[in-house]
């Protein structure tokens, strides 16, 4: 992605002027694509940011990627993304068989492992939008 503009707020009401950060996502399939709808959450216990990112690898159907990056340098984020965690269903009549889109998540620590709850929007090949929910360990 390269240099990306962002705005910061301490309270979600008052925002500062435009700043820039360097987002460098590297994957086998995301090399020429611009990821959509980044959702990130701070994990202060692990000192990292956790991301969910929509993208269409090799111009195929949109999937949902997950990855983490260190909180040490938040203006230079390098993420060698491994693999996507959620893809459209393979069913011809699936409610989410066209694309996975925007998402959000929460996590909780269970026996020193993180358990995730993911809500996402998805579209069927018939053009109908729905909401999905999935959960588990990543």
Q: What are the DSSP calls for 17-74, one per residue?
A: --EEEEEEEE-SS-TT---EEEEEEEETTTTEEEEEEEE-GGGSS-EEEEEEEESS-T
pTM higher than 0.85, yes or no? no
* 58 φ/ψ angles, rounded to the nearest 5 degrees: 50, 35
Q: What is the mean pLDDT of residues 61-81?
A: 77
The alpha-carbon radius of gyration of the chain (Å, integer) is 16
Q: pLDDT per residue over 35-69, tens digit each? A: 667 788 889 889 988 888 887 766 678 888 888 88
Give me 78's structure tokens. Answer: 């390098």
What percentage of the chain's residues is helix, strand, coil (to nearest 5)? 0, 55, 40
């Amino acid at each position: 992605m390269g240099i990306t503009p962002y705005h910061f707020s301490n309270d979600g009401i008052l925002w500062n002027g435009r700043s820039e950060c360097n987002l460098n996502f590297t994957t086998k399939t995301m090399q020429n694509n611009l990821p959509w709808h980044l959702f990130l959450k701070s994990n202060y216990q692990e000192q990292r940011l956790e991301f969910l990112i929509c993208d269409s690898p090799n111009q195929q159907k949109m999937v949902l990627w997950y990855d983490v990056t260190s909180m040490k340098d938040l203006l230079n984020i390098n993420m060698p993304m491994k693999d996507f965690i959620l893809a459209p269903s393979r069913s011809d009549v699936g409610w989410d068989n066209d694309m996975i889109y925007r998402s959000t998540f929460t996590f909780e620590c269970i026996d020193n492992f993180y358990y995730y709850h993911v809500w996402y929007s998805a579209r069927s090949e018939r053009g109908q939008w729905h909401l999905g929910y999935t959960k588990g360990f990543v």
